[in-house]
Amino acid sequence: MKVLVIGAGGREHALAWKLTQSPHVQMVYVAPGNAGVGRDKNLQVVNLTDVVALREWAQHNDIGLTVVGPEAPLAAGVVDEFRAHGLRIFGPTQAAAQLESSKAFSKAFMERHGIPTAQYQAFEDAALAHAYVNQHGAPIVVKADGLAAGKGVVVATTLEEAHAAIDNMLLDNSLGVQHNAGRARVVIEEFLDGEEASFMVIAHGLVAVPLATSQDHKRLLDNDQGPNTGGMGAYSPAPVVTPEIHARVMREVIQPTLKGMQADGIPYTGFLYAGLMIGPQGQLKVLEFNCRMGDPETQPILMRLKSDLLEALLSATDTDPAALTKVELHWDRRFALGVVLAAANYPSTPRKGDAIQGLSADQDAVMVFHAATQVVDKQIVSNGGRVLCVTALGDTVRQAQVHAYEVVDAIHFDGMQYRRDIGHRAVRK
Ligand code: AMP
Ligand code: GLY
């Protein structure tokens, strides 16, 4: 079978790499892909991003399954477009993708269906938002309603920061948020204390098969300092998700979400990602939903997946959702840990075009997944914010960390930024 993966990041490189390992797969195409995709003989780049053009290309090229990596094509309705032409595609419809694309939608959804989340209120009027913040005090969290590439959230430790974030999101839009229905809106919510974890499932109707757990590192700098980013590194599994918490997440979050979507007339098919905050006494709250796998969490998760991903995704796109109940995923017992190498000036205005040195051949236990890379005059150069994700396996988090950083130390590009402490919470335990 020929498979198409839509996207250009490290997550899509990892998805495509994993799919090529299926004996049923003849070729994996990645649109628009990156330089790492172009280096693998089983992978091929397709230079398209427009939803209709992708659908036409998939039809003409006899693509058996399309897997959507990022949120933007989902929010643009790529699944609706493919399905309307009888093409098999794994991902939520445009309506279902609102779980991620609109914070106001997802907060109201969680409230309606009793899914645990932070107290909140949504505002379009800046004066009312300022008054709410004054009334509740800091710390407090201000979120833009609309896709913002992981950068639309300000965890304000002071009232000044909260007021500035409101003005920024409602008046100037300097973050470049893609507004829903053309209107700027913010969600202001209670600050939650605890440890975060990323919990993803393959979902189809009411059936969910959990993927391995993971933990991301959202802040740019060591010791969780600096601005929020799309994610600077991740490891899997996340020890904070104990077997007991795992069972609670399935029961209190995943199942009610799938039931709620079905009840609301927008049944969910696709990867479903719950960003969790686990409090010091085991309190469980959903910070956000994403309608896709996490980046960089996908890279360590898929390095540990032993089962055939294609078979699982075919079951998850079967006309009978019960097909997915037969899928059981097997995981490498080892830990996997990925370190993101980002460009100069990431996350605000990443510089492009820096030549990347020291890329070696991939090995069994270490993979260098490409994200924003391209080839210019036979040289691989950076092409955006997150450039590479070096991902390694190890018997312990510490060993995975040592392996990953050995490979990181050999790679260089001007302005390269990365954290030295990926995995710190699990190493300390
Ligand atoms: P989100 O995009 O909603 O997941 O937010 C991005 C990041 O901001 C999260 O991964 C958390 O680190 C932080 N964050 C979001 N909401 C809260 C909250 N209510 N309390 C504390 N931190 C939060
Ligand atoms: N790494 C977090 C995300 O993909 O949203």
Nearest ligand, measured from the Cα of 287? 1
* Whole-number Å distance between alpha carbons of 144 and 150: 10
Q: Extract the runs of DSSP E, i.e. beta strands, from 314-429.
A: 335-342, 366-370, 373-376, 379-382, 386-394
* Whole-number Å distance between alpha carbons of 362 and 369: 9
* Whole-number Å distance between alpha carbons of 98 and 117: 17
- Residues flanking ligand 2, CB < 6 Å: 150, 216, 230-231, 290, 294-295, 297
Residues 73 and 162 in one domain: no
With a 6 A CB cut-off, is 195 part of the ligand 1 pocket? no
What is the 30 CA–ligand 1 centroid distance (Å)? 31
With a cut of 90, say whether residue 146 has pLDDT above it.
Answer: no
pLDDT per position as a tens digit, 195-211: 999 999 999 999 999 99
* Whole-number Å distance between alpha carbons of 92 and 293: 12
Element (H, E) at 74: helix 71-75
Q: Name, in order, each residue with C-beta under 8 angstroms of 77's C-beta and a sequence gap of 6 or more.
A: 51, 93, 94
Q: Which amino acid is at 364?
A: D
Residues 346 and 301 in one domain: no
Report the alpha-carbon angle 277-346-33, nearest 5. Answer: 90
Enumerate the H helices of 150-202 as residue ranges.
159-167
In a domain, 104, yes or no: no
* Domain extent for 387: 335-428
Pocket test of ligand 1: the residue of 71, 136, 155, 291 to mutate, having most ligand atoms within 8 Å of its CB, is 155
Q: Give the ligand 2 atom nearest the CA of 11.
A: 4
With a 6 A CB cut-off, is 71 part of the ligand 1 pocket? no
Residues 321 and 341 in one domain: no
Quick one: how many helices (H) and strands (E) in the chain? 15, 24
Nearest ligand, measured from the Cα of 290? 2
With a cut of 90, say whether residue 426 has pLDDT above it.
Answer: no
Q: Select the more confidently predicted residue: 173 or 293.
A: 293
With a cut of 70, say whether residue 75 has pLDDT above it.
Answer: yes
* Whole-number Å distance between alpha carbons of 184 and 399: 46
pTM: 0.94
Residues 312 and 368 in one domain: no
- Calculate mean pLDDT across residues 108-132: 95
pLDDT per position as a tens digit, 231-260: 999 999 999 999 999 999 999 999 999 999
- Calculate mean pLDDT across residues 316-343: 96
* Whole-number Å distance between alpha carbons of 259 and 69: 24
With a cut of 80, say whether residue 171 has pLDDT above it.
Answer: yes
In a domain, 406, yes or no: yes
Residues 178 and 257 in one domain: no
Structure tokens that stand for 172 in this block: 């100037």
With a 6 A CB cut-off, is 270 part of the ligand 1 pocket? no
What is the 198 CA–ligand 2 centroid distance (Å)? 8
Nearest ligand, measured from the Cα of 145? 1
What is the 230 CA–ligand 2 centroid distance (Å)? 6
Nearest ligand, measured from the Cα of 136? 1
Q: Give the ligand 1 atom nearest the CA of 103.
A: 3
pLDDT per position as a tens digit, 29-57: 999 999 999 888 899 999 999 999 999 99
pLDDT reported for residue 131 = 97
pLDDT reported for residue 81 = 98
Percent of the chain with pLDDT over 70: 97
* Whole-number Å distance between alpha carbons of 57 and 196: 39
How many domains are contained in the chain?
Answer: 4
Residue nearest to atom 6 of ligand 1 (CA): 153
**Cis before 296? omega within 30:** yes
Nearest ligand, measured from the Cα of 283? 1
pLDDT reported for residue 152 = 81
With a 6 A CB cut-off, is 11 part of the ligand 1 pocket? no
What is the 300 CA–ligand 2 centroid distance (Å)? 13
Residues 322 and 339 in one domain: no
With a cut of 80, say whether residue 364 has pLDDT above it.
Answer: no
pLDDT reported for residue 341 = 98
- Calculate mean pLDDT across residues 345-361: 93
Residues 227 and 345 in one domain: no
Percent of the chain with pLDDT over 90: 87
Pocket test of ligand 2: the residue of 196, 216, 299 to mutate, having most ligand atoms within 8 Å of its CB, is 216
Beta strand 63-68 pairing with 89-90? parallel
In a domain, 103, yes or no: no
Pocket test of ligand 2: the residue of 229, 273, 301, 389 to mutate, having most ligand atoms within 8 Å of its CB, is 273
Alpha carbon distances (Å) from 163 to 82, 175, 268, 287, 386: 43, 15, 36, 21, 29
Closest CA to 304 of 246, 239, 391, 199: 391
With a cut of 90, say whether residue 151 has pLDDT above it.
Answer: no
Contact 5, 31 (CB under 8 A): yes
With a cut of 80, say whether residue 176 has pLDDT above it.
Answer: no
Residue nearest to atom 4 of ligand 2 (CA): 294
Coil, helix or strand for 326? helix
pLDDT reported for residue 41 = 87
- CATH number at 21 reads 3.40.50.20
In a domain, 107, yes or no: no
In a domain, 246, yes or no: yes
Residues 316 and 372 in one domain: no
Residues 208 and 312 in one domain: yes
What is the 381 CA–ligand 1 centroid distance (Å)? 32
In a domain, 395, yes or no: yes
End-of-domain residue from the set 30, 65, 91:
91
Output the average pLDDT for the chain: 94
Residues 208 and 319 in one domain: yes
* Whole-number Å distance between alpha carbons of 151 and 10: 18
Closest CA to 241 of 195, 185, 209: 195
With a 6 A CB cut-off, is 191 part of the ligand 1 pocket? yes
Enumerate the H helices of 85-125 as residue ranges.
98-101, 103-112
With a 6 A CB cut-off, is 141 part of the ligand 1 pocket? yes
* Whole-number Å distance between alpha carbons of 393 and 374: 26
- Calculate mean pLDDT across residues 259-270: 98
5 strand-pairing partners: 30, 67
Alpha carbon distances (Å) from 156 to 174, 184, 197: 17, 19, 21
- Calculate mean pLDDT across residues 379-407: 97
* Whole-number Å distance between alpha carbons of 36 and 10: 9
With a cut of 70, say whether residue 127 has pLDDT above it.
Answer: yes
- Calculate mean pLDDT across residues 340-355: 96
With a cut of 80, say whether residue 378 has pLDDT above it.
Answer: yes
pLDDT reported for residue 181 = 65
In a domain, 390, yes or no: yes
Residues 16 and 80 in one domain: yes
Q: Give the ligand 2 atom nearest the CA of 216.
A: 1
Alpha carbon distances (Å) from 85 to 59, 80, 82: 9, 9, 5
Q: What is the 3-state secondary structure (H, E, C) of 244-292?
A: HHHHHHHHHHHHHHHHHHHHCCCCCEEEEEEEEEECCCCCEEEEEEECC
Residue 264: phi and psi, rounded to 5, are -80, 0
Residues 255 and 281 in one domain: yes
Structure tokens that stand for 415 in this block: 């302005």
Residue nearest to atom 2 of ligand 2 (CA): 294
What is the 387 CA–ligand 1 centroid distance (Å)? 24
